[in-house]
């Protein structure tokens, strides 16, 4: 597969070959779904906490006598049936993290990258560098390339000028190529990637397919 190679002015400088092991993989919906669920679960902090009736502050004195009042029996004011009482089966701090075999994680990222490439939603730049951090410079590059919608900018390594130039744009996110994940790739419509970052991706996920990853 080939894609046009652009410069920052939006001019086509040539064609660039993509590794079919990464960008021409059949879409495996089940694996991608599992990887997305894992990614979202791993983002959860798991810090939600409610108090049971044994943890609520309050008196344990019986509210009124057991019989001959015409009311239902009532004990502690900390009962979950009463305002300010404990919570029944409420959330407690827990770890939501999920595990997934490495072969499946690698297959999932290749599937979503292949889908993006097949739909012409990957834009490759020969380089992306700014002399100083300026939001208007990043806006100018995006407009020159004709990109609209949510955009994920993948870099070979962190570039402070590029990161600061994009951080004020609500629909643009910068990420290092080696940190690409199923969640971000599916969330953003376009992927703007530099040529060195593209080669880094191919080196990470384009090696020989191990047994069980694909059939």
Q: Are residues 50 and 14 in the same domain?
A: no
Report yes or no on 210 lying in a domain. Answer: no
3-class secondary-structure state, position 210: coil
Q: Are residues 26 and 79 in the same domain?
A: no
CATH code for the domain in which residue 119 is found: 3.40.1370.10
Report yes or no on 189 lying in a domain. Answer: yes
Predicted pLDDT at 140: 94
Q: Are residues 110 and 178 in the same domain?
A: yes
Helix residue ranges, H only, 43-168:
102-118, 135-144, 160-166
Report yes or no on 190 lying in a domain. Answer: yes
Q: Are residues 37 and 105 in the same domain?
A: yes
Range of the domain at 111: 2-43+100-205
In angstroms, the Cα distances linking 34 to 42, 98, 162, 201 are 12, 10, 32, 21
Predicted pLDDT at 1: 83
Predicted pLDDT at 60: 87
Q: Are residues 60 and 125 in the same domain?
A: no
Q: Are 46 and 94 in contact (CB under 8 A)?
A: yes
Report yes or no on 214 lying in a domain. Answer: no
Predicted pLDDT at 212: 42
Q: Are residues 166 and 117 in the same domain?
A: yes
Q: Are residues 129 and 143 in the same domain?
A: yes
Q: Are residues 142 and 200 in the same domain?
A: yes
Q: Are residues 129 and 28 in the same domain?
A: yes
Query: Which parts of the chain register pLDDT below 70?
Result: 208-215
Report yes or no on 120 lying in a domain. Answer: yes
Q: Are residues 82 and 109 in the same domain?
A: no
Q: Are residues 53 and 154 in the same domain?
A: no
Report yes or no on 130 lying in a domain. Answer: yes
Separation CA 205–CA 39 (nearest Å) = 18
- The number of CA neighbours under 13 Å toward the Cβ of 105 is 11
Q: Are 194 and 201 in contact (CB under 8 A)?
A: no
Q: What share of the chain is helix, strand, coil (3-state, %, to 5)?
A: 35, 15, 55
CA nearest 15: which of 137, 190, 210, 195?
195
What are residue 173's DSSP bridge partners? Answer: 152
Separation CA 175–CA 193 (nearest Å) = 10
Q: Which of 56, 74, 95 is the last residue of a domain?
A: 95
Report yes or no on 124 lying in a domain. Answer: yes
Q: Which pLDDT tens digit goes with each residue over 108-119?
A: 999 999 999 999
Q: Are residues 104 and 174 in the same domain?
A: yes
Report yes or no on 147 lying in a domain. Answer: yes
In angstroms, the Cα distances linking 149 to 84, 143, 197 are 47, 11, 21
* Structural domain count of the chain: 2
pTM (2 d.p.)? 0.82
């Amino acid at each position: 597969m080939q894609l046009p190679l652009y410069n920052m002015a939006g001019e086509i400088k040539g064609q660039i070959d993509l590794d079919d092991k990464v960008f021409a993989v059949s879409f495996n919906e089940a694996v991608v779904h599992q990887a997305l669920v894992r990614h979202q679960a791993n983002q959860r902090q798991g810090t939600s906490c409610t108090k049971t009736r044994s943890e609520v502050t309050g008196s344990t004195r019986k509210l009124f006598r057991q019989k001959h009042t015409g009311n239902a029996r009532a004990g502690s004011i900390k009962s979950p049936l009463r305002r300010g009482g404990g919570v029944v089966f409420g959330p407690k701090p827990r770890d939501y993290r999920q595990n997934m075999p490495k072969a499946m994680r690698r297959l999932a990222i290749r599937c979503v990258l292949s889908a993006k490439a097949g739909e012409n939603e990957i834009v490759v730049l020969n380089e992306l560098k700014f002399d100083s951090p300026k939001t208007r410079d990043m806006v100018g590059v995006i407009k020159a390339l004709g990109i609209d919608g949510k955009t994920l900018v993948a870099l070979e390594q962190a570039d402070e000028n590029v990161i600061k130039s994009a951080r004020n744009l609500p629909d643009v996110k910068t990420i290092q190529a080696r940190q690409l994940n199923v969640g971000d790739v599916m969330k953003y419509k376009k992927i703007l990637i530099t040529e060195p970052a593209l080669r880094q991706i191919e080196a990470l996920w384009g090696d020989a397919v191990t047994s069980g990853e694909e059939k």
